[in-house]
A and B are shown apart, each in its own frame.
Chain A
Amino acid sequence: MSKADMQLARGPVVEEEIQLTLMELCQACGAAEEHVIAWVYEGVLEPLGDGPQKWHFTGQSLRRTRVALRLTRDLEVNPPGIALALDLLDEIAALQAQLQRAGMRCRGK
């Protein structure tokens, strides 16, 4: 095995150590800027900073953007629909976490 193979890849935990610019978020998710901007104006993502060029997204935005992108691409959901779907998905996740704490498992999870 060569030395390169032995090297361990290391990296930061996105949700804790990273903020992403609009460009980085688009690059990370393969999303178009105009989509991400539309989602921000719908409240799907809440970056800090004034205006797209100064926006900073938290690491949690990565997962949300990926889901938004998949729902847009696969089901042609528009931005208000994405906002609604993500709110509902968050609610389901919170309920599932409660069940999980109580020791009950959900179907398919």
Chain B
Amino acid sequence: MKFKDYYETLGVPRGATQDDIKRAYRKRARKYHPDVSKEPDAEARFKELGEAYAVLKDAEKRVAYDQMGSEWKAGQDFQPPPGWDAGFEFSGRGDGTDQSDFFEALFGRHARGGSQSGRHGRGQDHHAKVLIDLEDAYRGAQRSIFLRLPELDGQGHVAMRERRLDVSIPKGIHAGQHLRLAGQGEPGFGDGPPGDLYLEIGFNPHAQFRVDGRDVFLDLPLAPWEAALGCSVTAPTPEGSVHLTIPAESAAGRQLRLKGRGIPGNPPGDLYAVLTIVLPPAVGEAEKDAYRALAKAFDFNPRAEMKG
């Protein structure tokens, strides 16, 4: 287990006041909050911040943490000294799933928050995320997910248990949507029914296609003469390739819409082929001559509209 320097995480000195700690946490939390942050590692950073703040904002936990001394460095191998927590009893609630080993070794693991009271024995609803391929949204698919559930062991401790769930991914689903899987959430209390599992769908990034809702976009490269004269090309789609007729005088950026070829649904999305024009490199003499012939054949100034 590695030591975690909670002061370093929040960027405050060890002598920081509670107000300093709160201010530092807020500032960083806004920066790394997964709902608003564009930082690639926002989620991990935010968890670290939350854990550091949970300890340092709580007077009792902070004193206990400080008691281990200031000699520890972040990332150093660490075991809590025996009896280090004598005289403390931590009653704060934690999420039970997001804490680091380090946090758990110091403060123990708490069962999920106290929001179970008044729920009449029904288990809580849970949330999970699964990534699928774009092609899966066209055809439907089957995915196995592994869920970690906190469970009480014989001694009343909370242990994590892994559970496999095979899920049918319906055709037509797209990123950001959720499946509701009845009864797959937290087990009920006593005779209470289990909660539901909400499964958020995300798409794996695709080398060729981009997705917006149900609409799918594809960049289709053309040679200049293909764009100028029109042509017939074969283009890939998530359901296999199609023949496309490119009209003459197509400009780069033109979007050809294949109606209903996006993600299936009611109504289905559309597939857009976005034309790009690729200039062949003028390497050999013959190629250079071809460009020179073009220059001669056209009275063309691409900067005619520019002023000055």
A residues sitting closer than 8 Å to B (CB atoms) are 5-16, 18, 27-30, 59, 62-63, 66-67, 70-71, 74-75, 85, 89, 97, 100-101, 103, 106-109
Docked complex: B107-138 residues within 8 A CB-CB of A? 113, 115, 119, 122, 124-125, 127
A11-B180 contact, Cβ under 8 Å, with A67-B35, A108-B40, A109-B38: yes
**What residues of A have a CB within 8 angstroms of the CB of B115 in the complex?**
30
Instruction: Kindly state whether residue B30 has any CB partner on chain A within 8 Å.
Output: yes
Quick check: A74 and B50 within 8 Å, CB to CB?
Answer: yes
Report the interface size for chain B: residues with CB under 8 A from the other chain: 52
Instruction: Kindly state whether residue B217 has any CB partner on chain A within 8 Å.
Output: yes
Quick check: B35 and A103 within 8 Å, CB to CB?
Answer: no
CB distance from A43 to the nearest CB of B (A): 18
Quick check: B29 and A75 within 8 Å, CB to CB?
Answer: yes
Question: What CA separation (Å) do A45 and B172 show in the bound complex?
Answer: 26
Quick check: A9 and B181 within 8 Å, CB to CB?
Answer: yes
Question: What CA separation (Å) do A108 and B38 show in the bound complex?
Answer: 5
Quick check: B42 and A108 within 8 Å, CB to CB?
Answer: yes
Binds A, one of B163-171, B225-233, B292-300: B163-171
Considering the complex, give the chain A residue whose CB is closest to the CB of B274.
A103
**What residues of B have a CB within 8 angstroms of the CB of A15 in the complex?**
176-178
Quick check: A75 and B30 within 8 Å, CB to CB?
Answer: yes
CB distance from B65 to the nearest CB of A (A): 21
Quick check: A9 and B210 within 8 Å, CB to CB?
Answer: no
**What residues of A have a CB within 8 angstroms of the CB of B44 in the complex?**
none
Name 19 interchain pairs, CB-CB below 8 A, sorted by A: A5-B164, A9-B166, A9-B167, A10-B167, A13-B177, A27-B119, A30-B113, A63-B178, A66-B127, A67-B35, A70-B35, A74-B33, A74-B46, A74-B50, A75-B30, A75-B33, A89-B35, A101-B210, A101-B217
Question: What CA separation (Å) do A101 and B274 show in the bound complex?
Answer: 9
Docked complex: B152-172 residues within 8 A CB-CB of A? 164-168, 170, 172
A27-B125 contact, Cβ under 8 Å, with A7-B166, A74-B50, A103-B210: yes
Q: Which of B42, B127, B212 contacts A101 (CB 8 A)?
A: B212
Quick check: B125 and A103 within 8 Å, CB to CB?
Answer: no
Instruction: Kindly state whether residue B269 has any CB partner on chain A within 8 Å.
Output: no
Considering the complex, give the chain B residue whose CB is closest to the CB of A17.
B180
Question: What CA separation (Å) do A101 and B219 show in the bound complex?
Answer: 10
- Which of A28, A59, A106 gathers most chain B CB within 10 Å? A28
Docked complex: B22-68 residues within 8 A CB-CB of A? 26, 29-30, 33-40, 42, 46, 50
Quick check: B181 and A11 within 8 Å, CB to CB?
Answer: yes
CB distance from B162 to the nearest CB of A (A): 13
CB distance from B58 to the nearest CB of A (A): 16
CB distance from B187 to the nearest CB of A (A): 14
User: Per-residue 0/1 for B208-234: is the Cβ within 8 Å of any A Cβ (1 yes, 0 no)?
Assistant: 001111010101000000000000000
Quick check: A14 and B142 within 8 Å, CB to CB?
Answer: no
Q: Which of B142, B172, B179 contacts A12 (CB 8 A)?
A: B179
**What residues of B have a CB within 8 angstroms of the CB of A63 in the complex?**
176, 178
**What residues of B have a CB within 8 angstroms of the CB of A66 in the complex?**
127
Quick check: A14 and B166 within 8 Å, CB to CB?
Answer: no
Quick check: A9 and B165 within 8 Å, CB to CB?
Answer: yes
**What residues of A have a CB within 8 angstroms of the CB of B179 in the complex?**
11-14
Quick check: A89 and B42 within 8 Å, CB to CB?
Answer: no
Q: Which of A8, A67, A101, A109 contacts B166 (CB 8 A)?
A: A8
